[in-house]
Chain A
Amino acid sequence: MKPDLRAKILGVELGNPTILASGIMGVSGAACCYAAKNGAGAVIPKSIGPKEREGHANPVLVEFDKGFLNAVGLPNSGVDNSLGEIEFAMKNSGVPVIPSLFGGTKEEFGMVAEKLDTLRPQLIEVNLSCPNTQDDFGLAFALSEKDAGEVIKLVKSKVRAKVIAKLAPNVPDIKTIARAVEKAGADAITAVNTMPGMAIDAKTGNPLLHNKQGGISGPALRPIAVNCIYEIYKAVNIPIIGAGGVTHGEDAAEMIMAGAAAVEIGTGIYYRGIDVFRKVSGELEQLMAENGYATIKEMTGVSHR
């Protein structure tokens, strides 16, 4: 029998478990639709903030031998200008659209979330990996259980949508942060955002990213992500969406077996083309058939047995 590739997250049904990750491609509603047309089971547009931001100068993305480094700098047209783009994707993509949001303060998160919620998305993802501008060191919200929890609590109070907290991998114990956001009311967790990294041009000594430092994505991030998912699965009772270096069907299976209900794909678009979603789904389906899995749910968390 053909395996059932459908994934369900908080009651929202996806035709397949691959989701366009926030930060890659989804600048516009049309770009999100293009990913959906190429097989994505759901799409997460680029994170939207309180006001227009240009992001960093180029280069914003550079490759290394096991992945990419990025510091795009959260460019976006601001929440008011972005609502039309999200609406376009919701109307035309044919798949669930999960708006992603960020802020520099808790209040900004709350304000953006409230505005996005007027579009009645079923799910929203909270990007906690941006710096807290009120913190003395500009520490990212995702690095502090207190900050992460407070943001989620405030966002929850502003929206009808179910709230997904996107966590950062570079913390001493990701279980603590996961428990904090669960306690604050998060309905699900995305694990993980990129890992801090840097690359330097050896001929001139110049950092290659204009922002000098950035985040690692792609194959190098995958084992880190799988480990985080495995840890979080043990710590909380809410669903997990895996993210980090999924490029092939086996990678998706790995994350699902560690505990993910679905997986996000971003950098994989570079390695396998925009139809990476369709390719990964096809490979996952075959892997499931060969190994006797009928559903994604059945495969979720099997490595914990």
Chain B
Amino acid sequence: MKMERPQIAAIKRVEEEADGIKTIFLNSSMKARHGQFIMLWLPRIDEKPFAVSYASKGEIGITVAAVGPFSEKLSLMRAGEKIGVRGPYGRPYTLAKGNLVMIGGGYGSASLAMLAEEAARKMTRVKFILGARSKSRLVYVERIKRLIGEENLTITTDDGSAGRKGLVTDALKEMIAREKIDKIYACGPDKMLKAVASIGHEAGIPGEISMERYMKCGFGLCGHCCVDPIGIRLCVEGPVIDFGTAMQVKELGLYHRLKSSRKEAI
């Protein structure tokens, strides 16, 4: 029986994705899908949510950038070391048929790379827009190329160090003007998600975004990830929400809640 408490698992291997960004693979029988997340526990330190970036039989992978004390400790861990893990949690993406566009900002593309894997298995056409601040921050480039073909990947960087200089939303707008798109998927920074959902909503194209907020329990009890003003819990009713819901989440792109619950502008 699944019990909501961390189980101790061993780290299988650690792979470097990009500058300071690593993927940690764990031995786990967990069946996790794209868009879902797991909680990783470093006993006596803290426990944090991580989007699943790889899932196959017997192993699960999460990608981590050292941005705070917890992720710094995590990214220093090596194969054989033990860690607590629970999950998976949250609602996955719903893969549609037709011409799909996936938009990943920064290492937010973890969940979308997994979605692209399902699309590739089902022979669904995918165009991927991958954006980052600069070339060194791009992740999963080779993985995505292998899945959908190089010609279907558009890279954008803020500084122009790889792909075209500009924002993922510029590339999206051009794509919408050029061809019929059946569904859009996006994961990345809040302001990017807000922009993508607004563009899609206005163009009448359905889509889903994966939204991130401070999470504590992960299974819908603590209420910390409830979003304004509709109150849904991102850990249960999300983190993947459709554009219609995203447009109702007025805090998207504007503010989030800190550990105390106090609001902070984004």
For A292, the chain B residues whose CB sits under 8 A away are: none
How many residues from B make CB contacts under 8 Å with A? Answer: 39
A135 within 8 A of B: no
How far, in angstroms, from A29 to B263 measured CA to CA in the complex? 12
Contacting pair A26 B223 (CB below 8 A): yes
Contacting pair B223 A46 (CB below 8 A): yes
Contacting pair A77 B261 (CB below 8 A): yes
Task: Name the interface size band of chain A.
Answer: 35 or more
Contacting pair A25 B262 (CB below 8 A): no
Within 8 A of A (CB), among B1-52: 3-6, 8, 39, 41, 43-48
Min CB gap A124→B, angstroms: 19
- What 0/1 readout, one digit per residue, does chain A (44-67) give for beta carbons within 8 Å of chain B? 001000001111011111111100
Contacting pair A88 B229 (CB below 8 A): yes
The answer to whether A201 and B226 touch (CB under 8 A), given A28-B231, A54-B259, A266-B221, is: no
Contacting pair A28 B43 (CB below 8 A): no
Min CB gap B130→A, angstroms: 31
Contacting pair A57 B45 (CB below 8 A): yes
Min CB gap B264→A, angstroms: 10
Within 8 A of B (CB), among A66-125: 68, 72, 75-78, 81, 88, 92
Within 8 A of B (CB), among A192-209: 199, 201, 203-204, 206, 208
Chief secondary structure at chain A's binding surface: loop
For A42, the chain B residues whose CB sits under 8 A away are: none
A-contacting 9-mer, from B105-113, B179-187, B212-220: B212-220
For B41, the chain A residues whose CB sits under 8 A away are: 58-59
How far, in angstroms, from A281 to B75 measured CA to CA in the complex? 48
The answer to whether A31 and B226 touch (CB under 8 A), given A55-B259, A61-B216, A204-B82, is: yes
Contacting pair B260 A54 (CB below 8 A): yes
Min CB gap B229→A, angstroms: 5
Contacting pair B46 A58 (CB below 8 A): yes
The closest CB in chain A to the CB of B249 belongs to: A30
Residue ranges of A at the interface with B (Cβ–Cβ < 8 Å): 24-35, 37, 46, 52-55, 57-65, 68, 72, 75-78, 81, 88, 92, 199, 201, 203-204, 206, 208, 210, 266-267, 269-270, 274
* 6 extra A-B contacts, CB within 8 A, seeds A25-B233, A28-B257: A58-B41, A59-B6, A68-B4, A72-B222, A75-B261, A270-B221
